[in-house]
Amino acid sequence: MSKAYSEVKTELNIDVKSSNNQSLAELTHFLQNEDSAYLKNSFWETQEANLLHEKASQYGLPLNWDIPFPPPLSPKFKFIDLFAGIGGFRIAMQKLGGKCVFTSEWDEKAKKTYEANFGEVPFGDITKEETKSYIPDDFDVLCAGFPCQAFSIAGKRGGFEDTRGTLFFDVAEIIKRKKPKAIFLENVKGLRNHDKGKTLRTILNVLRNDLEYYVPEPEIINAKDFGVPQNRERIFIVGFRKDMGVDSFEYPKPLNKTIVFEDIREEEVVSAKYYLSTQYLKTLREHKARHAGKGNGFGYEIIPNDGIANAVVCGGMGRERNLINDDRLEDFTPVTKIKGVVNREGIRKMTPREWARLQGFPDEFIIPVADASAYKQFGNSVAVPAIHATSNEILKILNLL
């Protein structure tokens, strides 16, 4: 009889914090794909592993995936999720009918969030040949929000070999081996001018000439144009294998829809811990006044209810750039305010759930980590609606919808 994933997880002791994370990645990929090719680790040769494998086989596949975002029963296409973070690409692609057949992410806390929502533990370091060996052959789209790194291209033509030592090289190597029908890459807006433009020129040269993909000019896409109140610009790079016959591509047009912060604000009164103390607010104001006009980028901002947030980022003063004035402060007791825990003006940080909404994550998305990790994860993630809109255009061209 088929069992729920939560039961299987308990009985097989699936714990993302385990030191044997690679085996958990293998097992959860196996459970979702029913392909023993994922079980390559020497761990599976042990008696303990044989018992686990035997138990897993007895449950019958498909399992009852009691998670927020289960794999589709009748997928229209397959994709892989590189540098997966917490699964922004995966939510968008699954919503369009795709099945993820491989995931990689190195951050352990991000893996915990990913597993809680998708029932799958990502594989780890994609630069390792062992990790690459788990990538199957038969997938349609490669998705990757890869980090931006400089290339050593002085005096060279800026091709495949010149990207060695960077994470883009590993993406390109996977494309070269697996030859997916399409690729969808995301990066920070600054990639366009990174290293005086050499980085982007090298990437496009590798994709177009070395790997033989049709790649239209990349486009800067802003999340605010696709239904979330966040001014977040990112560069999108789309490509199609040349034998697919694609010779034109149009990025999605902005939606004629205005969304403001009030539309995504948490409805219930949030915990006092998100409100700034009187002293901290005073310190912020004094610091900003001292640095006014000096061009060092320091500052805090209070986003009005009818406004949109700055891009959420995970480092530095990222949370202070998106403060709000919550008029529900009076719902706290006077004693709380007198103690100075909460400033009298009601100025607070946005909550992790509000950051999730700014990135377009549905409310059923589970946040199983502490706030500090949650802010980091959503700050590093992609804006789901912009990814969804662009993926839709890719899949229409490939006739995979």
Q: How far apart are CA 196 and CA 47, in angstroms?
A: 56
β-partners of residue 235 are 187, 220
270 alpha carbon, distance to own chain's centre = 25
338 shares its domain with 223: no
What confidence score (pLDDT) does residue 340 get? 58
Rg of the chain taking only CA atoms, in angstroms: 23
Number of folded domains that form the chain: 2
Average pLDDT of span 185-207 = 89
Place of tokens 């239904």: 227
52 contacts 92 by C-beta, under 8 angstroms: no
Q: What is the pLDDT of residues 224-264, one digit of tens each?
A: 999 999 999 999 999 999 999 999 999 999 998 889 999 99
Place of tokens 């794909």: 33
Handedness of CA 379, 385, 388, 389 (dihedral sign): negative
178 contacts 144 by C-beta, under 8 angstroms: no
**Distance (Å) of CA 147 to CA 84, 188, 299:** 12, 8, 26
* Strand, coil or helix: 15: coil
87 shares its domain with 140: yes
Q: Which domain holds residue 148?
A: 5-254+383-397
Q: Which run of H or of E encompasses 55?
A: helix 47-58
Q: Establish if 281 belongs to a structural domain.
A: yes
pLDDT band at 6 (very low <50, low <70, confident <90, very high): confident
DSSP H helices in 191-317:
198-205, 278-291
Q: Establish if 356 belongs to a structural domain.
A: no
Q: What is the pLDDT of residues 69-90, one digit of tens each?
A: 999 989 999 999 999 999 999 9
101 shares its domain with 192: yes
Q: How far apart are CA 22 and CA 37, in angstroms?
A: 14
Place of tokens 């696709």: 226
Average pLDDT of span 301-308 = 93
What confidence score (pLDDT) does residue 163 get? 74
pLDDT band at 296 (very low <50, low <70, confident <90, very high): low
292 shares its domain with 238: no
231 shares its domain with 298: no
DSSP H helices in 339-382:
352-358, 371-380
Q: Which of 92 and 189 is assigned the larger pLDDT?
A: 92
179 Cβ contact list (under 8 Å, min separation 6): 241
What confidence score (pLDDT) does residue 208 get? 97
The answer to whether residue 37 scores a pLDDT higher than 70 is: yes
Q: Residue 128 belongs to a domain with what CATH number?
A: 3.40.50.150
What confidence score (pLDDT) does residue 222 get? 97
Q: Which run of H or of E encompasses 77?
A: strand 77-82
Q: Establish if 370 belongs to a structural domain.
A: no
DSSP H helices in 149-273:
167-178, 198-205
Tokens of 59: 């449950």
β-partners of residue 142 are 80, 183
Give the β-pairing of 219-222 and 323-325. Answer: unpaired
281 shares its domain with 217: no
β-partners of residue 347 are 325
399 Cβ contact list (under 8 Å, min separation 6): none
Q: Establish if 357 belongs to a structural domain.
A: no
115 shares its domain with 219: yes
Annotated active-site positions, please?
A: 148
The answer to whether residue 18 scores a pLDDT higher than 80 is: no
152 shares its domain with 192: yes
Tokens of 391: 């993926």
Q: Establish if 365 belongs to a structural domain.
A: no
What confidence score (pLDDT) does residue 166 get? 82
304 shares its domain with 240: no
Q: Establish if 260 belongs to a structural domain.
A: no
Average pLDDT of span 171-194 = 94
Q: Tell me the residue length of the chain.
A: 401
Q: Establish if 128 belongs to a structural domain.
A: yes
Whether this prediction's pTM lies above 0.75 is answered by yes
pLDDT band at 271 (very low <50, low <70, confident <90, very high): confident
Place of tokens 């990207």: 163
184 shares its domain with 311: no
* Strand, coil or helix: 389: helix
Whether a cis peptide bond, with omega within 30° of 0, leads into 62 is yes
Average pLDDT of span 15-41 = 81
List of long-range contacts for 188-195, beta carbons under 8 Å, 24+ apart: 188/148, 188/234, 188/235, 189/220, 189/233, 189/234, 189/235, 190/148, 191/148, 191/235, 192/218, 192/220, 192/235, 194/148, 194/150, 195/150, 195/151
75 shares its domain with 155: yes
- Residue 339's φ and ψ, nearest 5 degrees, are -70, -10
What confidence score (pLDDT) does residue 20 get? 67
Q: Which of 287 and 121 is assigned the larger pLDDT?
A: 121
End-to-end Cα distance, the chain: 33
51 shares its domain with 198: yes
Q: How far apart are CA 379 and CA 358, in angstroms?
A: 10
Q: What is the pLDDT of residues 114-134, one digit of tens each?
A: 999 999 999 999 999 999 999
Virtual torsion, Cα 30, 33, 37, 43, nearest 10 deg? -10
Tokens of 356: 């999730």
Q: Establish if 180 belongs to a structural domain.
A: yes
